[in-house]
Each structure stands twice: as C-alpha cells, then as structure tokens.
Structure 1
Amino acid sequence: MSTGHAGFDRFIGGLDGLVTGGTILPAWSPDGRSLAFLDGTAEERTGRLVDLETGESTPLVADVQALREEVRKATGRSPAGRGLPFDHIAFTGPRTLLGVVGPDRVTLDLDTGDVREVPEERAVDVHTGFADSVRRTPREFLRTLPMVDPMKVRELVSPGGDLFVSTEGGNVVLRSAADGRSVPLTSDGTPEHEYRFDLVDPSMAMLGLAFPVCNWSPDGSRLAVHRVDNRGVYQNPQVHQLKREAEVVFRYDPLAGGKLERTTLHVLDVHGGAPVELDLGDTTDTYPVHAAWLPDGTALVVFVLSRDCRRAEVLLADARTGATRSLFVEEGETFLRIHHDVYFGKKIGLFLTPDGTRLLWLSERSGWKHLYQYDLDGDLVGQLTDGNWPVDYVCRIDGEHVYFTAHLDQARPYDLHLARVPLAGGEVEHLTEHAGKHSAMFSPDGAVFVDTWSTPAEAPRSVLRRNDGALLCELSTADVSRLEWTPPREFTATAADGRTELWGTMFFPADFDETRTYPLIEYVYGGPQIAVVPRAFHDVFTPRAQALAQLGFVTFVVDGRGTPERSKAFHDVVHRDWAGALVPDHATVVEQLKARHSFLSDAPVGVIGHSWGGYSAFRLAAERPDVYSAAVSSASGFDPYSSVLYECYLGFPQTDADAYRDAAVYPLAERMSAEFMLLCGTIDHSTWSNNVTMSEALIRARKQHEFVVLPGQPHSYDAAHNSYYWRKVSDFFRTHLVKTSQ
C-alpha cells in the first residue's frame, strides 16, 4: 500500500519487512526427537536442527552450496537466493524433510544429503480431479457466520483424513478423499434455517495460535453441528452498486432487544444414521455451543449461555439419544462471557481433561479470572488457580498439568506469561520470566515448547524450553539492523477515579527530537471486548499508530476502565454504562501526558478510531472539545440499538432504557465543535446506516464535517481504498493539527 509518504508507508504494513527472525515456525519430527526451522531472509535463508533431549542446535544442512546444487540437479532449476533454497519445510520421516522450493517440492535425507524431486502429478489427473493433491486437499467453500459476510474457508478434514465436510445451501456436505465426490449429509437445511459446524484452521490450532472447537468425534464417525433458525431476524440491506444494475443483498444482523436467531445442537452420523438433536429444551434467547467430545465418542460436553450473558450452564449430552443432564450452572450480577467470544471465536472457557473425567472452567467469581475443576457429576473438585491476577486461557492439558497463559506480573499487568498447575492441585509454576508478551507452541507430545516473546520496543526472541520451563537452547533473535526508528515507550497514567492505574504506549517519528514539540494524536478503540494497547512488537494496533507518528506526530494508545485482561471490577465499569469511564479516562490521560512531556504541543490533540473506535473518537471530541480539536471516525458503530453485541454490557432496551439512552451519541452532534471526518464503506451493512445517520444529525445541527464514502467496501478496506483512507487521514490531521499547533 502506498500513500505517497515514505515514512508512513514504511511502517503501515507492520515491522515484518524491516525486521527478520525472532519468531519461528517449528517442524517437529514424527519420532519426537527433533525440531527443524528456517530463519533469516529469503535471500540468505538459514536453518537449524535441534535435538529435543539435549537442546543441541546444529545447522540444518552442513554444506548449503552442495544442497543448492543437488536441488538444481533434481528440479532442473537453480533456486533463488544464496542460502537454503526452501520456502517451507516439514518432516515426512524421523530424518527426512519435505521442502518447498518455488514451484517444486523435494525430499531431503538429513543423513545422506540425498535430494529427490517429488514427481509432478499429470495435468490430466489434476484437471479431472483424480490427482491426490485434488482429492486430499481441503477445498474452499463459503461459510456463513453471525453478522458478517460469508467467508471463504477450507473444508474440515476428518480425524482419519478420509472425509471432508463443508456446507452448501444450508446443508452439510460430505466429500470422500477416495474419489473426490460429495454427498449431502443433511437435506432439510435452507439458507434461513441452516446447518453450521464450528471450524478453525487445524494447522493454526496445532501451533497454539487458535482456540480449539468441537466438531468431529474422536473416531470420525459423527459430526457435531448446530442448526441456526434465522427466520424473523432483522436483515440489514447491503447494496452493491459498482455494476450496471445495483444488487441488494440482505444480511442477518440481530438488533439489541430484537429477535435473536434460535440455535439447536445436533449430532450427524456419517454412515447415514438419523440425525440426533440434543435435548436442551427451548433454546430461544440462548447461545448453545458444543464444547468437547468425550474420548470414547459416546457423549459431548455442552455449554449454554443466556442471552444477557449472566447465566451459563454446562451439560453432558448422550451422542446416540440426545438426552442431556445438567452438570453445573453459574450465574453472575454482570456478564460471565461476552458475545464476541461465544459468537465468533467459541472462546467459551470450558475444557475437558484428556482422560475425559474432569472439566476445567474459567470463572471470575472471585473477582479475578481463574480455573476451577469439576467432575462429570457436576461437583466442584477445587479451585486450581488463585490470586490477584487473571488467567488468560488454557493452552494444553496433559495427564498431570494444565498449561495456561496469564497476566501473572501485576507490576506489568498486560504482560502475558505461560504457567502450569497440577491437576491434583498445588502451586502455580511460572514457566516464562522475561518482560513482555509470551506465546507458546508445544511439541505434539507436549515435552517441550517454543517460547517467543517481545515488547513494543524489543523485537521478538524465541527459545526452546522443557515443559517445566527449563531452558534448552536459544532458537532465534530478531535482526533489527535495517530498522531506523525511535522505539515506542510504554507508560502509565491514573484513571479519572484518581486511583486506578492505566497503561498505554506512545509512538514517535523515526527522527524524533525531544527538544522539539509535536502535536499529539490518540489512536483509540475503547470497545469493551478487547484490550488494544500494543504489548508486543507485532501487535495489531502497532502499524497504524507507528505509521501515523511518521507524519510528524506523537501518537498513543491507552486502555481505559471497562476493558478486559485486568480484574473483573476493572472490566465491569462498562456494565450498564457504556461510556461512563471512556471520556473521563482518556481525556485525563491526555492531560497527564502533556503535563509530563515538554515535547508535546500545548494545542488540543487529534483522535482517530475504527469501528467502536470511531464511536469513541466522536464521543471524546464531542464531549471534550477543550482536549480534542480534530477527530476521525472510520466504519463507526454509533448506534447501541443497532446490534445484539451491546446486550451483554447494557442489557436490553426494553428493560435498561437509561443505559441505551446514555450510550447513544447522535444527540451529541449538537455539541460537536471539533473538526470531524467520517469514513465508511458502502457495503458495511452493520455500520453504513449508523454513519449516514450521524452525518444527517450533524447536518441538522449545522455542523461542518467531511463524509468520505468508500465504494464497495465492507468493515475493513482493501489495499486501494485503505491507501485512499490514510491519504485522507494524513491530509486531515496535517491541516487541522499541524496548523493549530504552530
């Protein structure tokens, strides 16, 4: 993406193009003895082979030039670059690698150095679908999801690798790897009353980079699915206008307090047996989810969340009859889970031990998120973790321990560490120690894990550890020699309540000079479902805040009260009070930063946000024009009545009218005195009408503003429109902030 500003363009794509190494993609040998990985740039690729018992690390190949020559002989093509010729590697045997070299695939014997080309399949076999690569490769299909456009995903492969499932026209379709042909597994589904199944990328789940979900039974004979009845649910129009005849598509988008889709849970028999519906009673206004199969495949653990997110029930269901029995129920004064986790990621906080005898349950009943253990009679066995720190999520469970990520160091409350605790009860063991955000990728047998961590200012580093945290060896350290920048700075400030510590990160121009003064811009989100302040080198919000700073600003991101990853009380500030802490907390942070740093201009600051961040940007500027003089709102969700996603925080418009009235921002158009720019894509069905209505409110209030229309764009923008968006943002802030601060 190019905006025409070299400094901005260098950072908007993230730091991956400027920094290499530090993170690795492990290839584990099938005998559990070795780890192989590639490192460095494509031009100077290196690789290492690690003995998992001793930690000894050696070059993957002793003679790189000899390997390159062998690859040339095998493929008839000279490989690109000067280092190892592989783009990707994977083990096919204890001492044999499969390597991808451009369009070719070769095998490498690590003992003999023998290289052989994997024969290409006949073009006619590929064309007719008989080739192995066609029959055994998951195919794309369009998967429907709540509230968003259908997404292209890959078929789900069965445990035995012989079957693939997808959906089409509301039904589940089964494809055989034997001949590539498909048959419907259900026939009564429709787009309005459709079958779905939960799905994550299995390779990402194996690496610990996605949350596992429940679908295939362990033996591959049954499939857990859910059926969604959308009839009567509000549909938002999506108008496609970039062709000769406009096309209107309607997307299901339930309103706060409106009719919710009704979901039922089912088990399908791949051998043709009758589908089984699980007996959950009336599931109206609930969110039922398959949680886990018992190891023998006879039963499933089921999770049911009430619509207001304040009651969760865990049940055990017989896969053959559908009969269920309740195991335990938890109720809360506020939300126990949130819509985003249950709706989209199935991050339900419920885990089955490998032997199928115990359940682990994440609960904030103590005021902090911790792990509790139940048996399959529903009796509480005990609390596994405790303390004034929250568990993040469970990574792995073996026969003795549960491994989890947690915010263990409350001196740095957003740092993420790996820990474990015995299933039998006992002390929590800290397995990582360096400051920063840690992620772990376990070997298939769980004996070791790759520990990768970084901070906003410190590039990634990866090491190999035993599962007790003992260091085995260094793996990769990032090369930052091409990174010319001023590193970000983490900071703390005090919330508007005068007591609570808030954390944020500031970003600077590459040529930052502390003796000069710079206008300040806040990159805001403020939505209650995620903490957004960059805590790692490659965090989601880093590129935008970093790039924006290159236009001659200092930028910052801060998480105020009402957001997660702290105590329950910290998060509950948003309960029935969507914006009660938003403006006070963020405005006081601006005031504290200005008082603290002489390099910050005295002029009012700018603020920019996307989605709920656009709501926050508007509200901050409208309510505190003495602090914020220019605001940009992109794809903003302005209207709390327009989405079911508000319900777990605000309740329902019918019973909690004041909470919704206080969250509404259209009435604030009368108070907007800051320079203001709206942007939205025309097929963003969830927020387009929100933005049109906001523009209308500003026009009625006689408020000047700019409304940038992004034709044919959904909630996120493609490269061309994203470039245009950032050019508009750049011109906007240069005009209204730089001029004001001079």
Structure 2
Amino acid sequence: MTVGHAGFDRFIEGLDDFVTGGAVLPAWSPDGKSLAFLEGTAEERTGRLVDLESGRGEPLVADVGALRAAVRAATGQTPAGKGIPFDHIGFTGPRQLAAVVGSSRVTVDLDSGEVTVPAAERPLDVHHGLPDSVRRTPKEFLRTMPLVDPMKAREVVSPQGDAFVSTVDGNVVLRSVADNRTAPLTSDGTPEHEYRFDQVDPQLTALGLAFPVCNWSPDGTRLAVYRVDNRGVHQAPQVHNLKREDEVVHRYHAKAGGPLERTTLHVLDVYGRAPVELDLGDTTDTYPVHAAWLPDGAHLVLFVLRRDCRRGEVLLADAATGSTRLLFAEESETFLRIHHDVYFGKKVGLALTPDGTRLLWLSERSGWKHLYLYDLEGNLVRQLTDGEWPVDYVQRVDDEHVYFTAHLDQKRPYDVHLARAPLGGGSVEQLSEQPGVHAAMFAPNGEALIDTFSTAAEAPRSVLRRADGSLICELSTADTSKLEWMPPQQFTATAADGETELWGVLFFPADFDETKRYPLIEYVYGGPQIAVAPHAFNGTFAKSAQALAQLGYVTFIVDGRGTPERSKAFHDVVYQDWNGALVSDHAAVVRQLKERHSFLSEAKVGVIGHSWGGYSAFRLAAERPDVYTAAVSSAPGFDPYSSVLYECYLGFPQTDVDAYRKAELYPLASRLSAEFLLACGTIDHATWTDSIKMSEALIRAGKDHEFVVLPGQMHGFDAVHDSYFWRKVADFFGTHL
C-alpha cells in the first residue's frame, strides 16, 4: 500500500473495505432453535445455519447456484456477484427465510429451495396505501430533539403491530395498520410547546446494539410522551445562504445558566381518553424521563435528574390518575449521571426485573459504578456487584440474573467483558475470557448469546455461548487478508500527577520503518461524556487517526483524567475545572512518547480535534507551544457559556464564576503561537458563533490563522465537504509538520 493521499483516502472511511466477517448480524428462528447469518461481500457471500443447542453448523444454502437460478426465475432479476444474493435475511418460519432482491421481496424454503415472490401489488393500490406491505411499513417523519436539527426518523409500531405513532407539527399522530389512516392523539401541541416520545430503532434494540426505550405500554393501549415547553429558551440563528434568497431559521439551544426547556411527562390513551399528566410538581430546571412500564401496563417508573446533575429521583406513577410516589433518591457531591446520556439518549441507569417487582439501579456511590437492587417500596434489597472496577451497562435481566458489560480487568481497564450476577445475591460470573472489547447479542429467549470481541489491532471474532458463558461454537473470524497495514498499538503513560496510568493507542503508516523519523499528530477529544481511545477494532475515532497516519505521520489518541469508564475519582477531575488535567496530561503523554521512541524523538507535533475536541486542540496548542507546533479545530465548542451541556460539570455561570472563567478560551488567543486551522459548517448553529468569535479574537491579537468555511454544513459534514476538509488538513499538516 502506498503511503500518501491514496492511502489516506482508502482509510478515512474505516477498514470495512479490507476486512470481512467477524461480526455477525443474526436472524433468530422463531422456534428458538437456530440462528442464521450471512458473511462476505456480494461477490462471494455465504451463509451459515447454526443449531443453538449443539452448535452444529451447516451451509445456509446447499446449492448457491440453484438458489440464484430460482431467484432469477422468480423475480426476473439477475443478482450481482456469485454468492447468496441477499444483503439481509429474516425468518418467517422455522425453515423459511424472507429477503429482498432489488425491488422484490422473496421467501426461501430452506428444505426445498423454492423461491416465491408475493403477488404483485397494483400501482394504484400502492399509491392509495392499500396493500399490506404499505400499511405495515413504518414511514419517515421529522423528529425534533434538544439542541440539534430535526432528524429523519421512522414511526414506532405498537406492541401488537396494529398501529404506528409519529409527530407532526408538535402533536402525536396515530396511524392505523387496518386502513392506513391517521388520527391525532393530541391537538394542543405547537412547535414551541410540543409533544415528543422516546425512540430507538427496534431492530438495533433486538440485536443488543441500542437500549430499549419507554413509549408504548405492554398492552399497546397507552403511550408515554413528553411535553416540551421551549418558550423563553434561547434561539440560535441558522442562516441558509445557498438558495436565491437567504433564509434564517432559529433553533432552540439552551445556554448555560439560561432558561431551560420545561419538560412534563404525559400518558396518552389510544382509545381517545384525555391525556394524563404525571404529577411531578414544578419540573423547571429538571430532566424528567419515562424509564420503564411495569408489566401490568398501569404503572410507570420515572426518573428525574436535577439540572445540576447532583440529585436523581426514582418515582412510581399511576398511568390512569397521574399520581406519583417517590421510591428513592440519590445525591452526589458531583454529577450523578453523564449529561449526554440523559439529555439525548434517555440512558438513565435503571432497569426492571421481568416480573416488575424490583429495580436495578446503577450508582457510583462507592467510588465505582455498580448495580443495586431495590423493591417497589423503595427499599434497598442488596448490592449486586462490588469491587474496584466499574459496570458499563445492563444488557439483559431474567428471573435469576442480571447480565451486564463491565471493565472487570483493571490491568486492562478499557477492556469490556460480559458478566452476570444473581439477583438473589452471590458472586459475579465473568462470561468472556479473551482480552478486548466484548459485546453481546442475546437470543430472544435469552438462552444463548453471540459474543463479538476485538482489540484495536485484532479484527472481530464472534462465538456462540450459552447464558452461563459456556462456549457452544465458533461463529465467525474476520478475514484480514486484504488489509495491508501496520497494526495500531496500545500504550500506557503516566498522567501529570506522576501516579495515574493513562491508556492510548498509536497508529502508523502502512510502510512504517522504525529507523526513520516521523512527525507526531494527536487526535484529541477530551470531553467528559465519552472515552475515545479506540480499544476495539475500527472504532469511530480510530478512522481519522489511522487515515492521517497514511500521510506519513505517527498518530495517537489517549484518554486523560476527567473522562469516564474508570473510577469516579478519575472522572471527577473535570468537575468545576474543564481544563482539569487536559493540558497537563496530554502534554505529559507527548513527552513520554518522544522519550520512549527514537522515531519520534525529534518530531514536530500537531493536534486535531472535532467539537469538544476542537476546544481541546486549541487549548493544548495555546498553553503548550513548547509541545504543539500546529493545531486544527473543526466544529469547535469553544465557549462554555454557549450551551447547557457544560452545566453538569461546571455548575452555573451565576454561581460558579471561576469555573467558567477558567474554561474560557477566547482570552488565550493572544498566547497562540502554533499554526492554526479553524473549520466550521455555516449552519452548525451550536458552534458557528464560537468559530466566528475565535477568529475575531485571533485577528485582534494579530494572529494569522486559516478559516475553512463549509457552506450549508451542520456539526457533521457530508461526503463532498468532508473530503474538502480533509484535503485542507492534509495540506496544512504537510506544510507545518
């Protein structure tokens, strides 16, 4: 592989073009006895059918050529490639699959090999929404969320599959599968005082890739919704310049210390009874969340987080009357929950046992995140996990155990393992052994699970396990024969306190030669809500770092103190001190890497970051010109006063004046001596103003800098503008490093 722009272009989208297999997307049979999955590219795709009890596997299709001929005869279409002609499959019976070929839906009988196509639907019927396939397919709608632009989403189906819900102009709308007609469930919603409901792709939830949310009651008669009052909340202007005439749109964007949207919780009745507001009193300056429906469909568990994130309450609500009672509350001297988790994901750290009589609660009260079991009277039954390691999150609960992911091995603290703990009390059982990051996908009946694991340098591998962790069989190992690279390397370094071990990952050019000298680039984030060093294969943040390395650099990513997934004390370093250990820890890591590696000893050092990473990149360059020669900040969140997202960590500007002043970046403009490139999309209402203010501060300080304007781009860039941005980055670092 040639290092340079060609190598960069090949890696910027990740390693998917070079690696196949390893990660399994299962189709579980409805009788609970088997799973099927596909592997490989369209040119050579194969499939396996695996017995869940014995682990015996067989080809999904005995004669691929015969299947392709049957598909061609049934659909009139010649599938691409030479392998199984499906991208995805699902079971419609114990031995029958459903799939799509081109524009045709097909079913395949695994015993006879027969391929059938449903009767053609009349175009006029489709136009009027009459066929079953139209009525049962979720439609797109625009979903509103806090701070960000409206996003495309799909209707959410009821538990019985007889209705879908969406929102239109601030109101909740019900669409009947019976006749495809819609009826409003609310009529008093407006864009500024609107209804919303939780939403996660049900397919991802079923696969264990997303967390279930609380919307429909189990019996499908009620819907849990939010009423969001945006009146008085700051509106950030978003100027669209690319049409004949400019258009100005305003987006609600609560500022630190300013008015916060007021959210109330409601239950809607699909049979037309009046909406019920759940009694939470004054919800000003709180984040209330529907956490779970009880199995009886008559009660809900609620979670209310105070705006400063230091107190959380768990309540039980009557869906018919709206009455509530407090089960328990927890307070913390610092933030109790990660703000992003609650604000965007409704990921509150709360789960129900299947019988609905007990609650599992995640708490860091001991200094490490662990699981606690409560009854519905609010009494602590027992602590389920303990030790100097943190639970990651609950994956499944059955009648006897809670299954979860956790950082169990503190010798490798960013490895994620599968584990379970008995609800009745007892020792934690670790279900996975191999080093790396493990993820679980459970069979619908919970009796088996797919364990997929990888490291930064080792591609995914999937195995099938029983619920007790015992191995049933191997499923898939990634094929990396097309991957020509120098694998990344995990490393450790000592934080600026001289004691704490930090973990990171180094990336290299494909033709790396340790006898040569390389410039060093840090890809930084530094925000308090996520750890970003990629300890699994082909992680989100790994892609940019790996691609940059192909331009002839050594790159690295490290998580310093003030980030999650370690102890509470490790995370709390950011509390009321946004800089905290950011500059000192990251500069210390650069120094140690240069001392440790001769190929870096004389290296110039660059730094690049996006969003809060843009903040970090600028701060590192401004405060440590002895370390960093050049910096790039894209879509940068420079201003701590600009967003409510800072409050859980810094407090409020009115009461925590010093914390906000220490976090300000504009005063550092006069100290910048590194070369600097700033990039932002013109409709990124969250950070465009920050970028303009920083450019002005640099101009007034007499500091040259590059400002890359990306017209019509939001916080993320589309393919054309992203390519342009990275060309600018490549040229910038090529010139200055």
Q: Same fold by TM-score, threshold 0.5 exceeded?
A: yes
Deviation at 1:4, TM superposition (A): 8.8
Deviation at 1:101, TM superposition (A): 2.2
Deviation at 1:458, TM superposition (A): 0.3
**Preserved CA contact (<8 Å) 1:604 1:626:** no
Query: 2-side partners of 1:33 and 1:224: how far apart?
Result: 35
**Preserved CA contact (<8 Å) 2:517 2:603:** no
Deviation at 1:429, TM superposition (A): 0.5
Taking the TM superposition and a 5 Å limit, the aligned residue runs for 1:225-624 are: 225-624=225-624
Query: 2-side partners of 1:189 and 1:77: how far apart?
Result: 48
Query: 1-side partners of 2:94 and 2:403: how far apart?
Result: 27
TM-score computed with the length of structure 1 as normaliser: 0.98
Local SS of the residue matching 2:583? helix
Query: 2-side partners of 1:410 and 1:119: how far apart?
Result: 58
Aligned to 1:177: 177
Q: Give CA-to-partner distance per residue, 1:262-311, whole Å, 9 cap, x none.
A: 00000000000011000001100000000001101111000000000000
Local SS of the residue matching 2:89? strand
Deviation at 1:8, TM superposition (A): 0.2
AA aligned opposite 1:62: A
**Preserved CA contact (<8 Å) 2:521 2:607:** yes
Taking the TM superposition and a 5 Å limit, the aligned residue runs for 1:126-275 are: 126-275=126-275
Does 2:68 correspond to 1:68? yes
AA aligned opposite 2:114: D
Query: 2-side partners of 1:4 and 1:169: how far apart?
Result: 49
Local SS of the residue matching 1:537? coil
Local SS of the residue matching 1:722? helix
Deviation at 1:601, TM superposition (A): 4.6
**Preserved CA contact (<8 Å) 1:33 1:51:** yes
Aligned to 2:691: 691
Local SS of the residue matching 2:228? strand
Judge which range, 52-61 or 365-374, deviates more.
Answer: 52-61
Q: Give CA-to-partner distance per residue, 1:213-262, whole Å, 9 cap, x none.
A: 10000000000001000000001000001111101100010110001110
**Preserved CA contact (<8 Å) 1:211 1:346:** no
Local SS of the residue matching 1:382? strand
Local SS of the residue matching 2:545? helix
Q: Give CA-to-partner distance per residue, 1:29-54, whole Å, 9 cap, x none.
A: 00001100101111001000001111
Deviation at 1:602, TM superposition (A): 1.3
AA aligned opposite 1:468: D
TM-score computed with the length of structure 2 as normaliser: 0.99
Structure 1: which 5+ residue stretches go unaligned?
A: 738-742
**Preserved CA contact (<8 Å) 1:12 1:544:** yes
Aligned to 1:740: none
State the percentage of identical aligned residues: 77
Does 2:124 correspond to 1:116? no
Query: 1-side partners of 2:575 and 2:686: how far apart?
Result: 23
Query: 2-side partners of 1:182 and 1:51: how far apart?
Result: 43
Taking the TM superposition and a 5 Å limit, the aligned residue runs for 1:703-718 are: 703-718=703-718
Does 2:94 correspond to 1:79? no
Structure 2: which 5+ residue stretches go unaligned?
A: none
Local SS of the residue matching 1:239? strand
Query: 2-side partners of 1:479 and 1:604: how far apart?
Result: 36
AA aligned opposite 2:571: H
AA aligned opposite 1:458: E
Local SS of the residue matching 2:648? helix
Local SS of the residue matching 1:362? strand
Local SS of the residue matching 1:302? strand
Query: 2-side partners of 1:67 and 1:715: how far apart?
Result: 45
Judge which range, 581-590 or 337-346, deviates more.
Answer: 337-346
Deviation at 1:340, TM superposition (A): 0.4
AA aligned opposite 1:665: L
Local SS of the residue matching 1:695? helix
**Two-structure CA RMSD over aligned residues (Å):** 1.0
**Preserved CA contact (<8 Å) 2:108 2:114:** yes
**Preserved CA contact (<8 Å) 2:401 2:420:** yes
Taking the TM superposition and a 5 Å limit, the aligned residue runs for 1:644-723 are: 644-723=644-723
Q: Give CA-to-partner distance per residue, 1:537-560, whole Å, 9 cap, x none.
A: 121101100000000000000000
AA aligned opposite 2:155: E
Query: 1-side partners of 2:148 and 2:585: how far apart?
Result: 31
Deviation at 1:78, TM superposition (A): 2.8
**Preserved CA contact (<8 Å) 1:87 1:102:** no
Local SS of the residue matching 1:699? helix
Query: 1-side partners of 2:569 and 2:110: how far apart?
Result: 55
Judge which range, 116-125 or 306-315, deviates more.
Answer: 116-125
Local SS of the residue matching 1:210? coil
Aligned to 1:28: 28
Q: Give CA-to-partner distance per residue, 1:364-393, whole Å, 9 cap, x none.
A: 000000000000000000100000000000
Deviation at 1:108, TM superposition (A): 1.4
Deviation at 1:208, TM superposition (A): 0.7
AA aligned opposite 2:62: A
Query: 2-side partners of 1:41 and 1:520: how far apart?
Result: 36
Does 2:735 correspond to 1:732? no
Local SS of the residue matching 1:35? strand
